Chains A and B, each alone.
Chain A
């Protein structure tokens, strides 16, 4: 059974720091991996989708990497800002019962203080 773990569960950093959020999964037979951002009281916003054939994806100050063989993904946030404060979720996408299914980690709650 696929299990997705995110470490750390919470992180507090001063503005301007570069930081790394970690996501690990137990079954490497995944199709893709998706990183989301969740703001309090709001839904999930997709940040990056990495297909299994890719090693990384970049969007602005965000860079996500994927190493299927070791079951790991990292989300790198450069020059963090207070507006980056949110919960970050990773989800692996894998085949289950004839369709592609998302399995989520519990998230990393990030606080960036001025």
Chain B
């Protein structure tokens, strides 16, 4: 089954304790990205990757890191989490993003993170 998986689904942590949220897709997609969703603000892009070893900042990258060492995986790293990073996080992937024929985005189930 074609899917995007994220782990963990729920996480409660304390300020300053490094954490990683994993994201994996089995569709051989080139493009992957991370979003956070906050009430009233919709989804905002954190980072994206156009292919292996190619990553760039989205709209709200502060406090986050990513890496893309393999095509299927795109982990999100919070080196020193803070309470304002409490949010619902989504990973997404698509076949590609170039040209006018944009490819459909596939989303993971979400990771609810609480930082106390």
**CA distance in complex: A54, B69 (Å):** 37
- Closest B residue, CB atoms, query A105: B42
- Taking a contact as CB atoms under 8 Å apart, the answer to whether B106 and A46 are in contact is yes
User: Which residues of B pack against A, CB within 8 Å?
Assistant: 4, 31, 35, 40-45, 48, 50, 56, 90, 92, 97-98, 100-102, 104-110
Taken residue by residue from 34 to 47, chain A's Cβ proximity to chain B (1 for < 8 Å, 0 otherwise) reads as: 10100001111110
Q: Does A75 contact B (CB under 8 A)?
A: no
- Closest A residue, CB atoms, query B31: A99
- Taking a contact as CB atoms under 8 Å apart, the answer to whether B110 and A42 are in contact is yes
- Taking a contact as CB atoms under 8 Å apart, the answer to whether A102 and B45 are in contact is yes
Given known contacts A31-B102, A43-B108, A99 and B40 CB-to-CB distance under 8 angstroms: no
Q: Does A21 contact B (CB under 8 A)?
A: no
When distances are taken between beta carbons in the complex, the residues of chain A under 8 Å from B45 are: 101-102
Residue of B4, B92, B104 with most partner-chain A CB within 10 A: B104
